[in-house]
Structure 1
Amino acid sequence: MGDPRNSDGEANEKCFSNSEAQTESPVQVFSEPSAASRDQMETRLYKRRWLIVFLFSSYSLCNSYQWIQYGIINNIFMKFYNVDSFTIDWMSMIYMLTYIPLIFPVTWLLDKKGLRVVALAATALNCTGTWIKVASAKPNLFPVTFLGQVMCSVAQVFILGMPSRIASVWFGSNEVSTACSIGVFGNQLGIAIGFLVPPILVPNVEDMDELASHIVVMFYITAGVATFLFILVLIVFQERPALPPSQSQAAARLIPTESYSYSSSILRLLRNTPFIVLLISYGLNVGCFYAVGTLLNQMIIKHYPGEEVNAGRIGLTIVIAGMVGSLICGIWLDRTKTYKQTTLAVYVMSLVGLAVYAFTLDLGHLWVVFITAGALGFFMTGYLPLGFEFAVELTYPESEGTSSGLLNCSAQVFGIIFTICQGKLINTFSTLAGNLFLCAFLIIGTIITGFIKSELRRQKANQLAKTSAAVILDYGATTPINY
């Protein structure tokens, strides 16, 4: 037989016929003794998996950058469009609001049509939104720029729940947490750039024509990047590898498509008590992060007037530290599989980080704020992939997109509530009052996390498959298997 090749040009050495399998390699039988079943249960890792996850991270970056694009220079856009602070806050909160009703049809589409269709929809919507914004760089066109932001927020619905799905579909059992962290990494890097770049590209100048020229340059750069990524996804992005990367994915492929019911999957998840507890605790933590990110400019400017650029740099520090935290947590999970312990530890440190940040914000020293904000970001932003991966473990073999979508839906609901409430507290009382409000809910989330029953179903499935394979090999390739 010839040397079969996969899309990466590597030898696909496992795809042998029945007779070749008996002579050249041990028989790999896990669920049925037929040759067809053996082929289904074979696994392989493809080099393309890294291209897929990095491409996803890139278009996730482009979209998440726009989430905070307006909020980090809140005072400048207030002046340019002649609107109040709360209206500009909605340019961030619209990302949260659109997610809530749209996540269910989008996860249904993901389960029915797959990764490629969802990736194309995400990049097309994001590209369209950026070009609408290009046409909105005039003081009387706030409704147009808001429409563009709405389009980008809809694109986000097709992105946020994808990291765990891509990790499961493309990566091996010892890589999934790291791959999920890389997927989330792109989202976090986009937020970091969103904190850093707008204050640099759009300085706080008084001349409206000059300000408009700065804004339109920022919008053109974003539109160019979004267009390039849409074309790249159209050409490169692939649905799934020819062979599954892990035994849990191999088993998932054996489930007949017609037997899957999206509504039944949702009901099973809602009856999964450990997942529901995680759903609440995740929403509380990430909702706090959304509120802090949205209101960061207002908090910094309140204590350090004229420091718009440093407000962006502080936001950058938060997210960069969180990206490091995410990668470390992903690698740690792949090595230890201590999902609950790691999640709880990071949750506690998020609480400590926010409390320290709250009490040091008004000391008058920006370097102190940089340090405390970095510590906060390392744990609070680093928590994001932990929740995704813990949820997949608790809910296997349910769709990763569905569980991740529900987690993000919880985060958006709490994010809107916390942003509005913290904003009112900051304006009425002080930044300390607003941040302590969030600390109270992180205390509740920490307690709730401690009650999650850790049932690692995906790990059990992989271990069971390995055990079955070992038993079969012990009995020999030709030993019949009775069912």
Structure 2
Amino acid sequence: METNQEHPKLYTRRWAFIFGISILLLFGGNSFSSFGQISNFYVQFFNSSHAQVDWITAARSVSPMCISLPFALLIFKGKIGLRNLIIAMATCATTGVMLVTLSLLDSSLFFLIVLGQTMSGLAQNIGLAIPSGLASLWFPESQVGTAIAFTVVGIYLGEGIGYIIPALLVLSSNRTDAILSGNKLASGQRSLRYMYGSYFAVSAVVTILFVIFLTDKPATPPTTAQERKNTDLQVDKTWNKFCKVIKHLFTNPSYILVCILLGFNFQISMPENLMMSEIVADFKLSQTISPDALGGYVMSMFSLGGLPGLVIGGKVVDRCKTYKLLTSIGNASIFVTTVVIAISVIFKSAPWLFVCNALYGFLTGFVCVNLFEMITQITYPIDETLVTTLMFGFQAALSLLISGFARLVFSTWGSLGLLSFQCACALLNTVISCFISLKNRRLEIVKGENESDNSQTPLLTP
């Protein structure tokens, strides 16, 4: 058996773990995008309002806000390692899609779809706390960005599927407020139930495979930095030490700023996600395609653009390691893109709307990879999973805030006000990215090892 004293070693199964997590995150991405574009169907099926249907999506953010700190404590004390965290994520994801499937059995089961979305949101937020820790434990420094990118790809692919497939399964008209016939409601109910049932089956299989094959960490670490962290850093696991770590993180301005940046990075698209079909109908962007379908196609371009953005972002991060510069340029480009999206809607240019949303998704994916690795660099050697778990408590709070305010803005000022709100969020994100003071603490260990065989960079502790 290999030991930590041997040279760093890589294991092929690390890619299988990435693939499995990406599948589960695909279902999480789908739970984000499956409801907004066909909100009229859910309004009529559950006899609810558009604001209540918004809560089907927004409910994903409730549980992460409540459990991020307790989860961080369990991770800190070693009560829940990477293996158990991934299995918890898989169990929540499976339970979530099961409850959503059951909710479509009868129109009186609205509470089940909200509960299912709460579980799906919990699964996705646990899942998003995993990539950085998994990458640093199983991958060499030259592959960390790529590993993160291939993990998060599942979210964007899931969102793309969620934007398109439900709108094709649910028959609708050219008006978002049209009354659907009983046959259309029954057909949509049946089709969506089959879709979510298939998700449940796949998720259950992935969960079982993780229970059988997944391990906490490799027998031999992939980098010298990880090896030194395992051997040199003796962690005091008392409550007082946990409080000191939390204080250290939340008094680190750069950590707070990156948490906010990542929250905005994931949630700035929320106004479009919830209300693109209503924007399409408001500006009458098409006379031949229903707003549900066209809104889904437009938003799918965001997700499809995000896939190459993640992959290219991962490669660029692995090569350059200039996190702040890349993030600042990416966020500035996102702001410009949101402005052009608003202009495209005003001038009723559907082709430009498609192109800009694809670019928007590309830039969001590109910045996402930078932020994931940036936050673990500035907090090394604190446990990466603990750091990102707390970070997604921030992200969940921003999700609720943005989704609630977006509906209020749309109700008061309509589509133009909503798009202006999105542009303002992107501008704020650009400004925040300029104030990060970045120190690549984990990278310093690797550079210290490479520059001299006889000297080592001191292990930095909070």
* 1:322 counterpart residue number: 306
Contact 2:149–2:310 (CA<8 Å) still a contact in 1?
yes
Alignment of 1:294 with 2:262, yes or no, is no
- Deviations for 1:115-171, whole angstroms, at most 9, x for unmatched residues? 111111111122122222222222222122222222222222321211111111110
* 2:413 counterpart residue number: 429
Between 83-92 and 59-68, report the one with greater CA deviation. 59-68
* 1:172 counterpart residue number: 140
Between 201-210 and 73-82, report the one with greater CA deviation. 201-210
- Deviations for 1:443-482, whole angstroms, at most 9, x for unmatched residues? 22212211211211111011123335x2379xxxxxxxxx
Contact 1:107–1:405 (CA<8 Å) still a contact in 2?
yes
Which of the residues 229, 237, 242 maps onto 2:206? 229
Alignment of 1:334 with 2:299, yes or no, is no
* 1:477 counterpart residue number: none
Distance 1:109 1:198, change over 3 A: farther
* 2:187 counterpart residue number: 210
Letter aligned with residue 248 of structure 1 = A
* 2:242 counterpart residue number: 262
Letter aligned with residue 149 of structure 1 = Q
State how far apart, in whole Å, the 1-side matches of 2:435 and 2:193 are: 50
Structure 2 length normalisation: TM-score? 0.89
- RMSD over aligned CA atoms reads 2.1
State how far apart, in whole Å, the 2-side matches of 1:100 and 1:312 are: 29
State how far apart, in whole Å, the 2-side matches of 1:97 and 1:296 are: 23
Which of the residues 40, 55, 71 maps onto 1:106? 71
The alignment of Structure 1 onto Structure 2 pairs a total of residues equal to 437
Letter aligned with residue 175 of structure 1 = Q
Which of the residues 86, 95, 101 maps onto 1:128? 95
Contact 1:74–1:88 (CA<8 Å) still a contact in 2?
yes
State how far apart, in whole Å, the 2-side matches of 1:393 and 1:298 are: 41
Shift of 1:321: 0.4
Question: Runs of at least 4 residues of structure 1 off by over 4 A?
Answer: 257-260
* 2:459 counterpart residue number: none
Q: Which runs of structure 2 are paired with 1:339-354 in the superposition (5 Å)?
A: 339-354=323-338
Shift of 1:271: 2.0
* 2:118 counterpart residue number: 150
State how far apart, in whole Å, the 1-side matches of 2:127 and 2:148 are: 13
Shift of 1:41: 6.6
Q: Which runs of structure 2 are paired with 1:264-413 in the superposition (5 Å)?
A: 264-303=244-283, 304=285, 306-413=290-397
Between 250-259 and 325-334, report the one with greater CA deviation. 250-259
Distance 1:72 1:262, change over 3 A: farther
- Deviations for 1:48-106, whole angstroms, at most 9, x for unmatched residues? 11111111111111222122222231111111111111111111111122211211222
Shift of 1:438: 2.5
Alignment of 1:244 with 2:209, yes or no, is no
Between 266-275 and 76-85, report the one with greater CA deviation. 266-275
Letter aligned with residue 107 of structure 1 = A
Letter aligned with residue 151 of structure 1 = M
Distance 1:272 1:41, change over 3 A: farther
2:5 is paired with a residue whose SS is helix
Distance 1:136 1:451, change over 3 A: closer
Alignment of 1:193 with 2:161, yes or no, is yes
1:203 is paired with a residue whose SS is coil
Distance 1:76 1:183, change over 3 A: same
- Percent sequence identity over aligned pairs: 24
Letter aligned with residue 328 of structure 1 = I
Q: Which runs of structure 2 are paired with 1:24-103 in the superposition (5 Å)?
A: 39-40=4-5, 42-103=7-68
Alignment of 1:442 with 2:426, yes or no, is yes
* 1:460 counterpart residue number: 444
Distance 1:355 1:159, change over 3 A: same
Letter aligned with residue 320 of structure 1 = L
Distance 1:447 1:149, change over 3 A: closer
State how far apart, in whole Å, the 1-side matches of 2:237 and 2:197 are: 47
Contact 2:144–2:318 (CA<8 Å) still a contact in 1?
yes
Shift of 1:328: 0.9
Distance 1:239 1:51, change over 3 A: same
State how far apart, in whole Å, the 2-side matches of 1:122 and 1:421 are: 29
Between 251-260 and 62-71, report the one with greater CA deviation. 251-260
Structure 1 length normalisation: TM-score? 0.85
Contact 1:291–1:416 (CA<8 Å) still a contact in 2?
no
* 1:24 counterpart residue number: none
State how far apart, in whole Å, the 2-side matches of 1:466 and 1:66 are: 44
Distance 1:120 1:275, change over 3 A: same
Shift of 1:334: 0.6
For structure 2, the residue ranges without an aligned partner over 5 or more in a row are 173-179, 457-462
Shift of 1:222: 1.9
Shift of 1:245: 0.6
Letter aligned with residue 358 of structure 2 = G
Letter aligned with residue 234 of structure 2 = P
Between 54-63 and 292-301, report the one with greater CA deviation. 292-301
State how far apart, in whole Å, the 1-side matches of 2:57 and 2:299 are: 14
State how far apart, in whole Å, the 2-side matches of 1:105 and 1:42 are: 36
Shift of 1:187: 1.7
CA radius of gyration, larger in: 1
Shift of 1:265: 1.9
* 1:22 counterpart residue number: none
Letter aligned with residue 134 of structure 1 = T
State how far apart, in whole Å, the 2-side matches of 1:221 and 1:56 are: 17
State how far apart, in whole Å, the 1-side matches of 2:273 and 2:242 are: 33
Contact 2:337–2:359 (CA<8 Å) still a contact in 1?
yes
* 1:36 counterpart residue number: none
- Deviations for 1:277-318, whole angstroms, at most 9, x for unmatched residues? 322333333331333323333323333472312221221110
